Structure 1
Amino acid sequence: MTGGFVGRTTELGRLERLLSRVQDGHRDLPGVAVLLRGRRRVGKSRLVEVFCERSGVPSVFFQASQGASPASQRADFAAAIAESRLPGRDLFAPEAVLSSWMALFRQLAAALPDDQGSIVVIDELPWLLESDPSLEGALQTAWDTLLSRKPVLFVLIGSDLAMMERLDDYERPFHQRGTVMVLPPLSPAEVGSMLALPAADAIDAFLVTGGLPLVCQEWTPGDTLDAFLCATLSEPTSALLVSGERSLAAEFPAHLQAQHVLAAIGNGERTWSGIRGKLSTGTDQMAASSLTNSLQLLEAKRVVAAETPLSTKPAEKDRRYRVADPYLRFYLAFLRSGLSLVERGRADLLIRQVKRSWTAWRGRAVEPVVREALLRLAPELGWPEVEAVGGWWNRQNNPEVDLVGADRAGVAGKILFVGSIKWHASTPFDLHDHHTLVRDMAMIPGVDPQTQPIAVSRTPAGDLPIRSFTADDLIAAWPG
């Protein structure tokens, strides 16, 4: 049943268009493959399940198991086909032994209809590839010689972002054979629509839930943030509490050091030396190579983002790190260490900790959200040249500027706007903040008289000689 499913209209529409291409009937090779990737618990499986149910065509949905042997995976895949609505499902008898992936795909192709569209889904493909690397080549051969000749939408889903990206790399067997889809978390606008919240509260809700559908479903529409936290943090098995632990265990099962590095970044350490100092004890210094390797792993898996000051001057030595996953930002800052309090029945202490640090944490956590919104809105705001929105700082962090809009990432050619974010509940951007911004922006390499100062505030900035944006302006960056 899909009656309670909300949002994802853009993604459902794209899948529907791909299925209509399969059903066109005029294409030489009617099959279409889709490589769908996204972070764990972002709703990939549910999206495709809903799509299959609504499509009305025969389909089979197979979910791989982590650590299972190739033979048992093939047996489970065959069982899923036998229980599906594919017209040739009877070819997969319970006692059949499929000795190779090619044997399974050959039989699958025979089970697919020739006179109508169908859907085949393999969920958590990276787990299959981990247990049997030969599958990647078999997948390419089966697609080229068998499956692409059928009117089938072949959906391959994966949560390991780096591995799913590599599948489409040049010289990899499946290169350019699939349409790439990336499923992001629910946007702030989608969160606001789902939870019946005004723009400023919707952005706050996004910062806490990370846009994870399972977490958002625990939020009663119209409830305040305080009401949500009191309700969900009193339950140790709530999605808000357990999603982070499960994601980290699945993402880094054998990389405890990477988890420690991630936790340090999630708790506010942003520099290489700061992270190393946090993870070193007394005279026992963390090895530089170990930290570098962990950071490279975290970046490759898209869990951590590395940033440099955005200006017309190179500044690689001033690199900073932040948690890229919007849900993990809140989880690592508060919930990972607070889970033991909930389990002891003292959720009130955790809630007190969140409230005590909320204003300072939110002020930092909202920065990437504001930057993405301005990047999306830049053309209609009069800055069509803007291709990157970041921040700027010097080695002493004095000053530290929240927003820099430039014509390119890395080393910019032109700075088009510079801005400050004041995300307080009741205090807007004021004249003092304006004077500070004008003073600080003069220090940024590349700023010239044409560079516009801007203000971003949770509430209207009032009558100031500066272009300003509020939460209502930012939320328009995403379709609701």
Structure 2
Amino acid sequence: MISHFVNRKRELERLEREWKNVPSFVVVYGRRRIGKTRLLVEFSKNKNTFFHTFFEGTKESHIKALRKELAEFFSDEIFLSLNDYYTIFRYLADKIDAKTLIVLDEFTYALKGDKELASKLQRAWDHHLSKKPVMLVVSGSLIGMMRDEVLSYSSPLYGRRTAGFMLRPLGLFDSLELFENFEYGIRTYMLLGGIPSYLIVASKYRSIKELLKWEFLTPEGFFYDEPYILLSQELRELKLYFSILSAIAVGKTRISEIGNHIGVEARKLYPYLENLIRLGFVKREVPVIGKKNKGVYKLNDPMLLTWFSMIYPHKTEIETGVIDIENLRDELKKVMALRFEEVAKEFLVEINKRERLPFKFERIGRWWRKGEEIDLIALNEKERKALFVEVKWKDLNEREAKRILRDLELKAELVGLNGWEKFYGLVAKKVDDKKELSEEGFSVWDLADFKRFISLRGEV
């Protein structure tokens, strides 16, 4: 298993800038298992750091653990007599005389135990901590609570932070650094996305079949109950949320379709879908060209897409042990096909940055209208150039590839970009005779090009 620290270069650079300009107050938040603690541990190396992680518990247990660690940090037993957050923070400020990094990790667990904690920290920051050479970092996994209690205009801490960001999943090529085998790594990324903890669990296997068997298709598996744990931390009415996510996973992407599928009036679903979007579990996608009111809902979390496509509909069979990966081959194929479109988009964005396309695009996305669909269209509106791309999770020979590209040329005429310069491309698992297709003016990529790009990323 490989578990070294991967990338997070931009985040570390931002944190380092704040460290150079103390006093500073930084807020870092992001979903469970995204790697916040690992990032902050990496950042704290070679710094005078007090690092405290809160866990689920009562206010009393939190204060007891905090003051015990502070007493050890300062070798001062006076901390053991303090019984309130404000007095602890005030006394902490009094003890600091050298540049110090203070990390309050998983702060939302402490907020759950004391609703006045944000006010107490605000008072301590305004009157004491901000007068010292301190960088205070507050992190949390409960995204809704962090936004409402720490970041929102109504929070007592509003206006105090000097920097803050939501930590996001690793991208495709950073995620692949966690795997020795490229083919297995890219398939795992397609199933799980870029959550570091998920990828580390997967990295101990050598095949998707083994990963699914031991971590999804057994009640003791890591991912078997993960959606319940993940969603229950942020949401109530779990049955309704699970029904919505399940409907989207099986292809009900319009709000009317979701409503009909689960038996709930469509207009009543808007608040629930907004919550799922706010938390990053769902996204609303609109055509890259055309009417924006034609949007559809898609699962934005790859692990949830895999789980709701393959596990949720078969919970009873899994519990009784009468199902295995062979029974789910069609569902797996569908998930891979959907995810490969997103992976292809990531790949094109990366090579676009390196100017390895016919032109540099500014926007990219799907297009659909009246039953016709194009997987990806990349646009440069100033230069009036468009790249149309089909994405296939298949091995293709030259004849098959050429047929797909010719059909793409016909569909591109329906988009209506008259007077634009048009280019055509194909991304597939494997394509034979790419050179011949390239000589005909097409841009064609497969997994071999993805693998080759990894080595190019290190070039200056």
If the TM-score is normalised by the length of the shorter chain, which range does it land in?
Answer: 0.7 to 0.9
Contact 1:417/1:451 (8 A) holds in 2? yes
2:362 & 2:119 partners in 1: Cα distance?
37
- TM-score normalised according to structure 2 size: 0.85
Partner of 2:79: 92
Partner of 1:296: 274
Q: Rate the CA distance shift 1:263–1:90 in 2: closer, same or farther, 3 A.
A: farther
Partner of 2:308: 332
Contact 1:161/1:302 (8 A) holds in 2? no
1:451 pairs with 2:422: yes
Contact 2:395/2:428 (8 A) holds in 1? no
1:265 & 1:392 partners in 2: Cα distance?
19
Match of 1:361 among 293, 313, 335: 335
Q: Rate the CA distance shift 1:253–1:414 in 2: closer, same or farther, 3 A.
A: farther
Partner of 1:35: 27
Match of 2:387 among 405, 414, 417: 417
1:479 & 1:82 partners in 2: Cα distance?
47
Match of 1:372 among 346, 361, 364: 346
1:276 pairs with 2:259: yes
Q: Rate the CA distance shift 1:20–1:375 in 2: closer, same or farther, 3 A.
A: closer
Contact 2:288/2:365 (8 A) holds in 1? yes
Q: 1:235-292 CA distances to partner (integer Å, 9 max, x unpaired)?
A: 4332232322211221224453223212211232111111111101xxxxx1233211
Letter aligned with residue 368 of structure 1: E
Partner of 1:18: 15
Letter aligned with residue 251 of structure 2: G
Contact 1:197/1:221 (8 A) holds in 2? no
> Which residues in structure 2 correspond to 1:30-429 (within 5 Å)?
30-49=22-41, 51-52=43-44, 54-55=45-46, 57-65=48-56, 70=59, 72-83=61-72, 86-87=73-74, 89-93=76-80, 95-98=81-84, 101-111=85-95, 113-123=96-106, 125-129=107-111, 132-165=114-147, 167-168=150-151, 173-175=157-159, 177-198=161-182, 200-220=183-203, 223-233=206-216, 235-280=218-263, 286-311=264-289, 313-316=290-293, 318-346=294-322, 349-379=323-353, 380-382=355-357, 386-394=361-369, 396-397=370-371, 399-407=372-380, 416-425=386-395
2:254 & 2:71 partners in 1: Cα distance?
53
Contact 1:371/1:403 (8 A) holds in 2? yes
2:192 & 2:417 partners in 1: Cα distance?
37
**1:134 Cα offset (Å):** 3.9
1:426 & 1:453 partners in 2: Cα distance?
17
Partner of 1:283: none
1:215 & 1:363 partners in 2: Cα distance?
21
Q: 1:197-230 CA distances to partner (integer Å, 9 max, x unpaired)?
A: 22x5422110223233333233355712223333
SS at match of 1:452: strand
1:319 & 1:17 partners in 2: Cα distance?
35
Consecutive unaligned residues of structure 1, counting only runs of 5 or more, are: 281-285
SS at match of 1:366: helix
Contact 2:143/2:234 (8 A) holds in 1? no
1:431 pairs with 2:427: no
Q: Rate the CA distance shift 1:383–1:115 in 2: closer, same or farther, 3 A.
A: farther
Q: Rate the CA distance shift 1:132–1:304 in 2: closer, same or farther, 3 A.
A: same
Contact 1:61/1:121 (8 A) holds in 2? yes
Contact 1:375/1:388 (8 A) holds in 2? no
Contact 1:58/1:87 (8 A) holds in 2? no
Identity %: 21
Letter aligned with residue 389 of structure 1: I
Contact 1:261/1:275 (8 A) holds in 2? yes
1:468 pairs with 2:444: yes
**1:47 Cα offset (Å):** 3.5
Q: 1:396-449 CA distances to partner (integer Å, 9 max, x unpaired)?
A: 32x1110012358xxx99562221101115667611101110011111143644
SS at match of 1:372: helix
Equivalent residue pairs, number:
447
Letter aligned with residue 296 of structure 1: E
Q: Rate the CA distance shift 1:178–1:262 in 2: closer, same or farther, 3 A.
A: farther
- TM-score normalised according to structure 1 size: 0.81
Letter aligned with residue 228 of structure 1: L
1:413 & 1:142 partners in 2: Cα distance?
54
Q: Which has the larger share of helix? A: 2
Contact 2:287/2:368 (8 A) holds in 1? yes
Q: Rate the CA distance shift 1:197–1:294 in 2: closer, same or farther, 3 A.
A: same
Q: Rate the CA distance shift 1:74–1:447 in 2: closer, same or farther, 3 A.
A: farther
